[in-house]
Amino acid sequence: MKEVEILVEVYEDKEKVLDILKQFKFKGEKETLDIYYFDPLRDNFKVINNKFPIECFRLRNKNQKYYMTYKKDNFENETWIYSDEEEIEISDFKIGQTIVKNLGLKELIRINNKKHTYETKKYEIVFEEVKDLGYFLEVEAFNVNEDEDIKKVKQEIQFFIDKLGFKVSDELNAGKPELMLNKINNLDN
User: Tens digit of pLDDT for each residue in 2-48?
Assistant: 778 999 999 999 999 999 999 999 999 999 999 999 888 887 776 66
Residue 104 lies in a domain: yes
pLDDT at 26: 98
pTM over 0.75: yes
Whether residue 7 contacts residue 137, with contact meaning beta carbons closer than 8 Å, is answered with yes
pLDDT (tens digit per residue) in 162-185: 999 999 999 998 888 888 888 887
Residue 118 lies in a domain: yes
Q: Determine the 3-state secondary structure of 169 from DSSP.
A: coil
Residue 189 lies in a domain: no
- Per DSSP, 124 falls in state E
d(CA 140, CA 146): 15
90 vs 3, more confident: 90
**Residues 6 or more apart whose Cβ sits within 8 Å of residue 181:** 47, 50, 52, 108, 109, 187
Domain that holds residue 105: 2-184
pLDDT for residue 76 is more than 60: yes
Residue 76 lies in a domain: yes
Number of domains in the chain: 1
- CA-wise closest residue to 25 among 138, 109, 116: 116
Residue 176's CATH number: 2.40.320.10
- The strands making up 25-38's β-sheet, listed across from edge to edge, are 2-3, 79-90, 65-76, 55-62, 25-38, 106-119, 123-130, 134-141, 5-9
For residue 15, the surrounding DSSP H or E stretch is helix 14-21
Residue 66 lies in a domain: yes
Q: What share of the chain is helix, strand, coil (3-state, %, to 5)?
A: 25, 45, 30
pLDDT (tens digit per residue) in 111-170: 999 999 999 999 999 999 999 999 999 999 998 878 888 889 999 999 999 999 999 999
- CA-wise closest residue to 61 among 33, 36, 88, 98: 33
Mean pLDDT of the chain: 89
Residue 115 lies in a domain: yes
Residue 71 lies in a domain: yes
Residue 162 lies in a domain: yes
Q: Determine the 3-state secondary structure of 69 from DSSP.
A: strand
